[in-house]
Amino acid sequence: MIEAGLKNELQKQGVYVTTLEDLYNWGRANSVWPLTFGLACCAIEMMAASMARFDLARFGAEVFRPSPRQADLMIVAGTVTKKMAPLVVRIYNQMPEPKYVIAMGACAISGGPFKQGYNVLKGVDRYLPVDVAIPGCPPRPEALIHAIMTLQEKILNQKLTGPDRARHLNADVPGEFLVPAYGKQDLEPSKNTEVWQPPAIQR
Amino acid sequence: MLVEAILMTTTDHNYLVLPMLMVAAVGFALTPLAAAWAWAHFFSPAKPGKDKNAIYECGLEAKGDAWIHFRSEYYLYGIIFLVFDVETIFLLPFAVAFTGLSVGAFVAMIIFLLLLVEGLVWAWRKGILNWH
């Protein structure tokens, strides 16, 4: 492991040093392949982001894969209904590690304008470990690009070794998440408490 | 030094460079594959599961068995469909060029049509047109 200060000093003298960790994460961060997966109107903005005007290809994330087996990133773009929620989790489970989730738009974050609806999941983070959340209804393509950049920053800071290493390198962390079942009134269970740990509201 | 040694050996054995290049080429192809395998084997633990090993990727759980019985009658229908298919293809130019045709061409076309109709009559008499 090399100190940041020493690395900086060496760089000033024209000596470039790197670590395997940095190299590995640099490669991963610049080849995030999202899943072709749109649930509602946010998907239109997602498509726009991948097209020529906004050009997601600049960030290495333009290769939208039609199969979860080939994707690294799930962009939950739109309202997740309770009927769709088990399918979303199942598709996420089918993605190989390392995998990341972006909750795009108000609906994916909290249910958004449909929060009061009886059939709307109040945030996909109840079942999936969301890495980046983008507010907006829908968020503009620039916001999605910002989310990808934020995710790249997160990937670049992941560790290869040690107790806080990235999830895909840790054999003890499970690769699959709980798939909710259709209950009589609501999904059962209504949230995955291992993933969803909101702070207690102080009143 | 090494280059000199290689050059000296290649002057003695004119074709030695070929297997050397071949070894280099195969190594060039296999090294990344081996590196990828080693990385996957030593650093990223496999986490198979029920969902991850599922056949379908649409998010729905598969119902029933994929090894179901297809009735052979379907294929007979497919073959009989060919009779009408070929007939249509030939009838259209036949109709367009009908006024300019010689008697020989007309007779040849009728014989061709009769051959196709014979196939249909055969299928009909066999009872294939009835779905069991």
Looking at chain B, which residue has its C-alpha nearest residue A178? B51
pLDDT for residue B132: 67
Ranges of residues in chain B with a pLDDT under 50 are: none
Q: Is residue B114 part of a domain?
A: yes
In angstroms, the separation between the Cα of residue B37 and the nearest Cα of chain A is 15
Structure-token pair, residue B27: 């190594």
Q: Which chain B residues are closer than 8 Å to A20 by Cβ?
A: none
List, in sequence order, every residue forming a beta bridge with A187; answer none if it has no partner.
Answer: A182
Among chain A residues, CA nearest to B49: A176
- Cβ within 8 Å, pair A169-B45: yes
- B62 in the same domain as B1: yes
> How far lies A92's CA from each of A10, A54, A166, A198, in Å?
43, 26, 17, 21
Is the CA virtual torsion B113, B115, B120, B124 positive or negative? positive
Which residues 6+ apart lie within 8 Å of A187 measured at CB?
A: A82, A85, A86, A121, A180, A181
Q: How many domains does chain B have?
A: 2
Rg (CA), chain A: 19
pLDDT, residue A150, reads 95
Same domain, B23 and B61: yes
Any idea where the domains of chain A sit in the sequence? 33-152
pLDDT by 10s per residue, chain A, length 203:
678 888 888 889 998 888 888 898 999 999 999 999 899 899 999 999 999 999 999 998 989 999 999 999 999 999 999 999 999 999 999 998 889 999 999 999 998 899 999 999 999 999 999 999 999 999 999 999 999 999 999 999 998 888 888 888 888 888 889 999 998 888 888 888 888 888 888 88
Q: pLDDT tens-digit profile of A39-62?
A: 989 999 999 999 999 999 999 898
Check if CATH label 3.40.50.12280 holds for domain A33-152: yes
Kindly state whether residues B62 and B77 are assigned to the same domain: no
Verify that B6 and B51 share a domain, yes or no.
yes
Q: Please, what's the b/e burial string for A122-143 (b: 16 or more CB within 10 A of its CB; e: otherwise)?
A: bbbbbbbbbbbbbebebbebeb
Q: Which residues of B touch A94 (CB under 8 A)?
A: 51-52, 54, 57
Looking at chain A from residue 35 to 74, which residues have their Cβ under 8 Å from any Cβ of chain B? 67-69
Residue B132 located in a structural domain: no
User: Do B81 and B32 sit in the same domain of this protein?
Assistant: no
Question: What's the pLDDT at B24?
Answer: 97
Q: Does A91 touch chain B (CB under 8 A)?
A: yes
Tokens describing residue A132: 């980046």
Domain residue limits at B30: 1-66
Contacts of B60 in chain A (CB under 8 A): 87, 90
Asked if residue B48 and residue B10 are part of one domain, the reply reads yes
Indicate the pTM of the whole model: 0.73
Q: Does A179 touch chain B (CB under 8 A)?
A: yes
For chain A, the distance separating the N- and C-terminal CA atoms, rounded to the nearest angstrom, is: 46
